[in-house]
Amino acid sequence: MKKALVVDDSAFIRKIARQILEKMDFEVTEGKDGAHALEQCETELPDLVLLDWNMPVMSGLDFLYSLRKMPGGDAPQVVFCTTENTREKILTALEAGATEYIMKPFDQEIVRTKLEQIGMV
Amino acid sequence: MSQAFTTLCDYLRRTSGLVMEPSKQYLVESRVMPIVRRERLSGLEELVQLLQRGQSPKLAKDVVEAMTINETYFFRDKTPFDQFRSTMLPALLAARQNEKRLRIWSAAASTGQEAYSLAMIIDEFASRMPGWKVEIVATDLADTVLDKARKGVYSQFEVQRGLPTPMLLRHFNQMGESWQISDHIRSKVTFRQLNLLSDFDILGRFDVIYCRNVLIYFDTARKADILGRMTRSLAPDGYITLGASESLIGLKTDLVAHPEQRGVFMRAASTPKPMENAARMAPPMAAPSAPAPITLPPGFGTSQIAAARLRTAG
Cβ partners under 8 Å of residue B195, min gap 6: B16, B141
Q: Decide: A38 and A66 in contact? Cβ < 8 Å.
A: yes
* CATH number for B161: 3.40.50.150
Strands B101-107 and B133-140: parallel
- Which domains occur in chain A, in start order? 2-117 (3.40.50.2300)
Q: What is the pLDDT of residue B26?
A: 80
Task: Give B158-192 pLDDT, tens digit per residue.
Answer: 999 999 999 999 999 999 999 999 999 999 999 99
pLDDT confidence of residue B286: 44
Question: Is the preceding omega at residue A105 within 30 degrees of 0, hence cis?
Answer: yes
How close does chain B come to A107, measured CA to CA in Å? 9
Task: Provide the pLDDT for residue B306.
Answer: 61
Domain that holds residue B12: 3-68
Q: Which residues contact B201 (CB under 8 A, 6 or more apart)?
A: B229, B233
Q: Is the pLDDT of residue B282 over 60?
A: no
For residue range B233-249, what is the model confidence (pLDDT) as tens digits? 999 999 999 998 888 88
Residue numbers in chain A where pLDDT is lower than 70: none
C-alpha span between B66 and B52 (Å, rounded): 17
Mark whether B191 and B244 lie in a shared domain.
yes
Residue A117 forms contact with B (CB below 8 Å)? yes
B92 and B225 belong to one structural domain: yes
Give this complex's ipTM.
0.94
**Cβ–Cβ < 8 Å for B70, B112:** no
pLDDT at B289: 43
- Does B86 lie in the same domain as B231? yes
Residues B156 and B214 grouped into a single domain: yes
Domain co-membership, B37 together with B140: no
**More confidently predicted of A64 and B214:** A64
Give the closest residue to A97 by CA, choosing from A114, A113, A81, A73: A73
Q: Are residues B210 and B260 in the same domain?
A: yes
Residues B116 and B253 in one domain: yes
Per-residue pLDDT band for B65 (boundaries 50, 70, 90) equals confident
- Residues B89 and B226 reside in one and the same domain: yes
Q: A70 to chain B: which residues are within 8 Å by CB?
A: none
pLDDT of residue B25: 79
Beta-carbon pairs below 8 A across chains A and B: 60
CB contact under 8 A, B157 and A94: no
Work out the percent of chain B whose per-residue pLDDT is above 90: 56
Residues B59 and B10 placed together within one structural domain of the fold: yes
- CATH value at residue B20: 1.10.155.10
Average pLDDT of the residues in B275-282: 42
Q: Does any domain span residue B278?
A: no
Range B101-125 average pLDDT: 97
Residues B272/B280, Cβ–Cβ less than 8 Å:
yes
In a domain, B302, yes or no: no
Same domain, B103 and B240: yes
Given a cut of 80, whether residue B206 has pLDDT beyond it is yes
Give per-residue pLDDT as tens, B283-310.
Answer: 444 444 443 333 333 333 456 666 666 6
- Residues B33 and B174 both lie in one domain: no
| CA angle at B309 for the pair B308 and B310, rounded to the nearest 5° | 90
| B161–A87 C-beta distance less than 8 A | no
Taking the C-alpha atoms of residue B226 and residue B213, their distance in angstroms, rounded to an integer, is 13
The mean-pLDDT minimum among B62-71, B83-92, B132-141 falls in B62-71
Nearest CA to B193 among B102, B64, B48, B103?
Answer: B64
User: Domain count of chain B?
Assistant: 2
- B310 and A91 within 8 Å at the Cβ level: the answer is yes
Residue B300 inside a domain? The answer is no
